[in-house]
Structure 1
Amino acid sequence: MGRANALLQGSGISIYQPPASPLDVNREELLASVKKWFQKFRATRWFRITYLVLLGAVVAQLYVLSRSTLACLVILLIPISIFVVPYWLGERKLTRFAGNALVVFLVAILLAAGMSTQALLAQSQSFELRSFPDIASPTMALANGSVDPYQAPPSTSFAFRVNLTTSQNGTPDGYRVYLNLTVVRGVNVAQSSYRMAYSPGNFSAGNTRNGSWYEARLSNLTDAVYLYAFSVWDQGKNWTYTTVDFGPLTASGWVYFGFFIYLWSALSQVTIVALLAYFAILFLWWYTKRSREARMKTLARAGDLPKEEKKAGAKPESSSGGKASKVAAFTCTNCGADVDESDTKCPKCGAVFED
């Protein structure tokens, strides 16, 4: 056999050799290496940046859910999550908590604006508008309100149509149907109304009780944000209004992105209420911590510190000054050890603290 291998090698033919067996990966060693890497990463500033960005992404999803029936629960979850997550990760400085809120809300607003813009531009057709129950007359109903085309350049001719149905016999001329158009350009908002004309056809009855169609055409619009709705007046005391929707879409995606940033930040009740709730939670935590520290200092000076609180972290009086040392009010984010506010690095693991 050895002679045959030698002949094959001499002839230039490669000889197959089985690969070496793979090294056995010890699960404990792998977990230990991952844990060691995570501890090193946790001691850097990038760890804080990472979890704040991820927390902002979670809050952005909660922003979207705030438009559902879970709005009240979502508004409570936003400030609680912004406070609890950093606290669970070892954050104890008041200034950092305040800075965390600004970063998280900024990331959340940008992501929520991006998701809202993408969802709006993904629509190829308008949603059909109908009478809003709270501001509708029982004798008049509007339905199937739309704009066509829904997305087009500003110079396009846009057709707005809506169907009117009344509870009693009537002629189309006996009712005034209006197109209510809102134009948002930057921070300026302008509203205008256009009277719609009766549109005869096979599906448009001359008797409003059977359903009559009305139409209005607009052209030469601008690259602004448009919202439209419909209303009808029976020339008496009764009015009926429809819901409001975006359209027509004539601007670029950046225009809508800026609009949603403005909407989610300055005009959003979710942001205002969540910010107020967050700083209320932060104040309660700070006041409770401060009161506890003041109480422990008072008891330490009087020498009446309970045994339970001594075991919890109170240090004996120093021999040089005779004053009780400060109780640890901060936690190292790297190893979890208690540290003083004046410490520049952790006495246990040596991690350097940032201001």
Structure 2
Amino acid sequence: MSDALINGLAGAGGGIIAQLITYPLQTVNTRQQTERDLKKEKRKLGTIQQMCQVVKQEGWGRLYGGLTPSLAGTAASQGVYYYFYQIFRNKAEVAALERRKLGIGDGSVGMFTSLLVAALSGCVNVLLTNPIWVVVTRMQTHTKISTKPTPGETPLITADEAVLAAAAEPPPYGTAHVVQEVFDEAGIWGFWKGVLPTLIMVSNPSIQFMLYETMLKKLKQSRASNKNGNSVVTALEIFLLGALAKLGATVVTYPLLVVKSRLQAKQLTTGDKRHHYKGTLDAILKMIHHEGFYGFYKGMRTKIVQSVLAAAVLFMVKEELVQGARFLLTKNAINTVKSKPS
């Protein structure tokens, strides 16, 4: 089994575990990003309060809306990303060693090269998996409309209409329904909505990996320079390095994430032009005009908690899986050699 395949499978496993742990936060965050007209009282709701509100009004299931395609997307994204990252990284390391033979550099991969490797891996990942995330965003932002008015509110429908609505079977909104909906709206290209800001968002994992690799390298060098020469990094340290790297990357690139979510969410069919985005530039201009720069940072606190926690868990689990796989492969290879007759 190649090192790239080991890293790809480990990345997929780590991503799935991180997704399962943080998915309710991701659902709430996507809703915050795509909300156009927040009322003043709704803005005061914190993340936990909004989660409780979703559970109370729509049920526990809505916090996990789109979980199945999201897990598939996470496994595919992390697998593809880490697979190609390791391939590009190996080529960069070989090139760095060749340059050292020519008297150029110290044989290690520099910060700029690490950034380029992460960016190339991210572009491949985005182009292959964007359709999955369009479906996930639709399912996360889909809400069940309640026919029950809140206390003191005038009902929008008559009592007879409410009875009929309650008796009616709600339309399905599973993966197949969303796929058909996206195709009916924009054809096959509808599955690549938001791909431009998503490609630009490649800078997020690129910055994240650049920070992570740099901090990890410095930590190992610091450990190696000690008298005992032990450069082993613990799982907890990997967790903290992953969290710090993701925090820095998220703060820098968050506005692009909001634009991407707006484009991928179902466009509202009201007559209000503020809710219709023709493309990336149109979305940016309308958000600036109607919402101000605040609109680009909606739900940022929730995203920081979710993404930092998810990234930290992913890095920790992925590294443990990689080490475990390498240990098993090495052990099997040794046993195979020993079992051969001399």
Q: TM-score range by the shorter chain?
A: under 0.3
TM-score by length of 1: 0.23
Structure number having the greater strand percentage:
1
For the pair shown, the structure with the greater C-alpha radius of gyration is 1
